[in-house]
Amino acid sequence: MARKMKIGIKSREQFKEYTLAIARGEIKPKADEPKVWFDSLESMAQVLSEKNRELLKTIQKQKPQSLTELADVTGRKIGNLSRTLKNMEHYGIVELQKESKSVKPLVRFTSFSAEF
């Protein structure tokens, strides 16, 4: 079951200062603060493009058992899917489960809200 992801946007410098302040004990993150941060609106828009959100919906609806099956369903090349999904996995949006000789994509989040 996918959940809603809260996303934050801070420049790299702002994020560095924020994490250092946490490390120094000057700031205690609130429970409702974003857990995932992008350094710009553009980078967030790239990862969560309409095409990529459609991909998430397809994975959730079709439940492909491998990237090959997902490629067949979407008409996208496996290399392209693999790069896109690895990037999404980096942000925690999907999980790529390695099963014997294949990789099964699982959607962790399908709904997003952003905090600037």
- Sheet with 109-115, edge to edge strand ranges: 36-38, 3-9, 109-115
Instruction: Write the pLDDT tens digit of every residue in 51-108.
Output: 999 999 999 999 999 999 999 999 999 999 999 999 999 999 999 999 888 999 999 9
Structural domain boundaries, residue 29: 3-115
34: amino acid identity, one letter = P
With bands split at pLDDT 50, 70 and 90, how would you rate the model's confidence at 19? very high
pLDDT on residue 115: 82
* pLDDT (mean) for 2-31: 91
Half-sphere exposure of 27 (CA within 13 A, CB side): 13
pLDDT on residue 1: 56
With bands split at pLDDT 50, 70 and 90, how would you rate the model's confidence at 49? very high
With bands split at pLDDT 50, 70 and 90, how would you rate the model's confidence at 110? confident
Phi and psi at residue 95, to the nearest 5°: -125, 135
pLDDT on residue 70: 97
pLDDT on residue 2: 61
Contact between residue 62 and residue 31 where contact means Cβ atoms under 8 Å apart:
no
Q: 33: domain CATH number?
A: 1.10.10.10
* pLDDT (mean) for 30-50: 92
Number of domains in the chain: 1
Separation of alpha carbons 92 and 36, rounded Å: 8
Dmax of the chain from CA atoms? 51
pLDDT on residue 99: 83
